[in-house]
Amino acid sequence: MKHFVIGAVTALSTLLAIPAMAETRLVVAGSEAVDSLLDRMAVRFADTLEETGGDSFNVNLVRGQSLGSAQQVMEQHQAGSVNVMYSRPDWFTSNVADFQVMSWGFTFRDRDHLNAFLESNVFEEMNQKIVDEMGVRVLAAGADQPRILYTREPIEGIDDVQGIKMRVPGIKAYLELWEAVGATPTQVAWAEAFLALQSGAVDGAEADASGAYSQKFHVAAPNITLTNHIISALHISINEETWAALSAEDQAILQAAADDAVAWASETGMAESQSVLDQMVAEGATVREIDGEPFAARAGVAVPTMESEGLWSEGLWQRIRDIEG
């Protein structure tokens, strides 16, 4: 009996020494304005993950620009202090040049074409480059609203953009595109764009409708031109070390939450685009349609030069154009 008691105590001590399964703490961050489309996408992702993940995840959602610019958050994402990032593929370009093709105007014919690309082997190859070169992987990506122009003065044709100072992010494809169509690209941080427009430091900026409304671009630059020059994409990505450390079950939960949030944001974005434009008009803005062919022609002529300069892999633009969708 004595030996039984000792054995039982030893077994109990062993069980108590085994730690309970620890939950995975996830810092989820971006640099989008609170209540913008991507911010709401992140809220949906976090809420879904907490509902479906049970005790597996402890989600710390950091909203707004608390952690800095998109580039700064991306650097933290690569380092692993930000486990999950909600953003757009533009911010992979500093490490994987091929993503600059997504920021090149008139690459995608429409949303269907972009979605077909996001489901293609071409995009899968690009995603693998992110994993290999940045330690980050895209969990889910989808089409967003088209990007359009917001200017202090009316734009009725390509002649009206010649020489105007266009606010662009620090992405080479944006810089080269607006130079190709005749504008003077000027780098300004997203958070500072409204003041730059208001003060006249720049003459115009471009963004999707929801993003521009959240920053009040239409107040400082009330002339809105429907160029639809870029069909934007949005995504949720994860640090690769974080991903690899998860069990297959937790990976599936995380993947499902990302798929759900991105699909919701993609559908919501298009539904909101027109209502947002209507609201801008109600607040004093003017919306104009425009012939995009002169812009598209100049952008297309510049593609061989962009590829020869190494902005993206030679032939990539044509591979994307050849995707049916």
Q: Which domain holds residue 228?
A: 2-308
**Contacts (Cβ under 8 Å, ≥6 apart) of 127:** 137, 138
pLDDT digits (tens, 9 = 90+) for 132-143: 999 999 999 999
Between CA 251 and CA 235 the distance in angstroms is: 17
| CATH code where residue 289 lies | 3.40.190.170
Per-residue pLDDT of the chain (325 residues; tens, 9 = 90+): 333 333 333 333 433 443 445 689 999 999 998 988 899 999 999 999 999 988 899 999 999 999 999 999 999 999 999 999 999 998 898 899 999 999 899 899 889 999 999 999 999 999 999 999 999 999 999 999 899 999 999 999 999 999 999 999 888 888 999 999 999 999 999 989 999 999 999 999 999 898 899 899 999 999 999 999 998 899 999 999 999 999 999 999 999 999 999 999 999 988 889 999 999 999 999 999 999 889 988 999 999 999 999 999 999 999 999 999 7
In a domain, 188, yes or no: yes
Name the domain count of the chain. Answer: 1
Q: Count the neighbouring beta carbons within 10 Å of the beta carbon of residue 170.
A: 16
Instruction: Compute CA distances 79 → 25, 75, 145, whole Å.
Output: 15, 6, 30
Between CA 309 and CA 147 the distance in angstroms is: 25
User: Model-level pTM greater than 0.85?
Assistant: no
In a domain, 321, yes or no: no
Residue type, 291: D
In a domain, 315, yes or no: no
In DSSP notation, 192-232 reads GHHHHHHHTS-SEEEE-HHHHHHTTHHHH--EEEEEEEEEE
Please tell me whether residue 169 adopts helix, strand or coil conformation.
coil
In a domain, 181, yes or no: yes
pLDDT digits (tens, 9 = 90+) for 46-74: 999 999 988 899 999 999 999 999 999 99
Helix (H) or strand (E) holding 21: none
Between CA 265 and CA 270 the distance in angstroms is: 9
Between CA 82 and CA 115 the distance in angstroms is: 27
